[in-house]
C-alpha cells in the first residue's frame, strides 16, 4: 500500500532546508518506506523510513550490519521495491512501475559504485565505462567519445584499452566511477567505495568523490568508517530499519590532493 500525501506530517525531518516530504527538486525521496521479508516470520528490514536527498548533496549512510543500509541502497537504486511507501527518483515514483521501466530508470538515473568494483572482466576499461550506454541504445561512436572523455576525467586516459585485471584497485574503482557517471545519473550510489582499497588509494578515491560533488553531482555513500563518512555534508545513521538520527557535518573533511 503506497503512502499518500496525507502521511507527510509524519515525516522525520531529514532534509536540509527542503519542504517537508517534498520530492520536487530532490534527487531522491523516500516516504514512509517499509520493506518486510517473510522468512518464516516477518522481518522488517526497513520500518518506515523518510529520506530526502536534495540535488547536489553529499550524504553518507552509517549503521551496523543488518541495520537496513543495503536495503535502502537497493531501493534507491531501483534494484528492489518497497513493501509499502513511495520511492521517488528524479521526481519519478518508481515503487509501482514495471520491472522494465524500473530497469530503464536504473540505467539512466542511478550510477552504482561498489566495494568490489564489479567491472566486467572481459571488457576493457573504456568498454566498461560505455556499458550502461550500450543498454540505452546509444550510438557506438558517441559511446566511445563519452567513455574516453570520462576516463580522462578520472585520470585514466591512457588506460582505456586495459582489462580490469591489468589495473590496480584504485584504477579499477576510478573506472567504476567513470562508468557510474556515463549516463549522467541523478544520483551516484557508492557502497563502501574505499572498503577494498588501502588508505592512500582510498584517499584518492575520496578526493575524486569530493571533486564530483564540487562539480554538482549528487552522492549517497554507504560506509561504516567514521572518517570516510565525515567527507559528506551530513550523515544518516540507520539502526534496526529506522533512521536513528541525521547528523549535519559542520565542516566536511577535505582531501588535499592534486590527483583526480
Is 163 or 237 the residue whose CB approaches other proteins more closely? 163
Is 20 or 104 the residue whose CB approaches other proteins more closely? 104
The residues of the shown chain that bind other proteins, judged by CB under 8 A, are 74, 77, 79-80, 99-100, 103-104, 106-108, 112, 114, 118-123, 131-132, 134-137, 140, 179, 183
Cβ neighbours, 10 Å, residue 106 = 20
Distance CA 241, CA 33 (A): 10
Taking the complex as a whole, the smallest distance from the CB of residue 79 to other proteins amounts, in Å, to 5
Taking the complex as a whole, the smallest distance from the CB of residue 111 to other proteins amounts, in Å, to 8
Taking the complex as a whole, the smallest distance from the CB of residue 213 to other proteins amounts, in Å, to 21
In the DSSP assignment, the letter for residue 8 is G
Cβ contacts of 178 within 8 Å, gap of 6 or more? 129, 147, 150, 151, 153, 154, 156
| Closest to 254 (Cα-Cα) out of 213, 199, 195, 193 | 213
Cβ contacts of 88 within 8 Å, gap of 6 or more? 23, 26, 28, 29, 30, 31, 94
Taking the complex as a whole, the smallest distance from the CB of residue 27 to other proteins amounts, in Å, to 18
Taking the complex as a whole, the smallest distance from the CB of residue 130 to other proteins amounts, in Å, to 10
Helix (H) or strand (E) holding 61: strand 58-62
Is 73 or 208 the residue whose CB approaches other proteins more closely? 73
Is 16 or 196 the residue whose CB approaches other proteins more closely? 196
Is 82 or 132 the residue whose CB approaches other proteins more closely? 132
Strand pairing class (242-248; 234-239): antiparallel
Cβ neighbours, 10 Å, residue 255 = 16
Is 3 or 167 the residue whose CB approaches other proteins more closely? 167
The DSSP result for 203-227, as a single string, is: HHHHHHHHHHHHTT--EEEE-S-HH
Give the Cα-Cα-Cα angle 15, 186, 160 (nearest 5 degrees): 135
Taking the complex as a whole, the smallest distance from the CB of residue 235 to other proteins amounts, in Å, to 24
Taking the complex as a whole, the smallest distance from the CB of residue 200 to other proteins amounts, in Å, to 26
Is 31 or 179 the residue whose CB approaches other proteins more closely? 179
Amino acid at each position: 500500500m503506497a503512502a499518500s500525501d496525507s502521511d507527510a506530517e509524519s515525516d522525520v525531518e531529514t532534509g536540509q532546508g527542503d519542504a517537508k516530504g517534498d520530492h520536487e527538486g530532490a534527487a531522491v525521496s523516500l516516504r514512509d518506506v517499509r520493506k518486510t521479508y517473510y522468512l518464516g516470520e516477518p522481518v522488517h528490514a526497513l520500518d518506515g523510513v523518510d529520506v530526502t536527498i536534495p540535488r547536489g548533496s553529499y550524504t553518507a549512510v552509517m549503521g551496523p550490519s543488518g541495520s537496513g543500509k543495503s536495503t535502502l541502497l537497493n531501493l534507491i537504486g531501483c534494484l528492489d521495491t518497497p513493501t509499502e511507501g513511495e520511492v521517488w527518483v528524479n521526481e519519478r515514483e518508481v515503487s509501482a512501475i514495471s520491472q522494465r521501466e524500473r530497469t530503464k530508470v536504473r540505467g539512466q538515473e542511478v550510477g552504482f559504485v561498489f566495494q568490489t568494483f564489479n567491472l566486467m572482466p572481459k571488457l576493457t576499461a573504456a568498454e566498461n565505462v560505455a556499458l550502461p550506454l550500450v543498454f540505452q541504445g546509444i550510438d557506438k561512436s558517441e559511446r566511445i567519445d563519452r567513455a574516453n572523455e570520462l576516463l580522462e576525467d578520472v585520470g585514466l586516459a591512457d588506460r582505456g584499452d586495459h582489462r580490469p585485471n591489468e589495473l590496480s584497485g584504485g584504477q579499477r574503482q576510478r573506472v567504476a566511477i567513470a562508468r557510474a557517471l556515463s549516463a549522467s545519473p541523478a544520483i551516484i550510489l557508492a557502497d563502501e567505495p574505499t572498503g577494498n582499497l588501502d588508505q592512500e588509494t582510498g584517499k584518492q578515491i575520496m578526493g575524486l568523490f569530493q571533486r564530483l560533488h564540487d562539480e554538482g553531482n549528487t552522492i549517497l555513500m554507504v560506509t561504516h568508517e567514521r572518517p570516510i563518512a565525515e567527507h559528506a555534508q551530513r550523515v544518516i545513521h540507520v539502526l534496526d530499519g529506522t533512521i536513528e538520527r541525521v547528523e549535519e557535518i559542520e565542516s566536511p573533511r577535505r582531501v588535499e590532493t592534486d590527483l583526480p
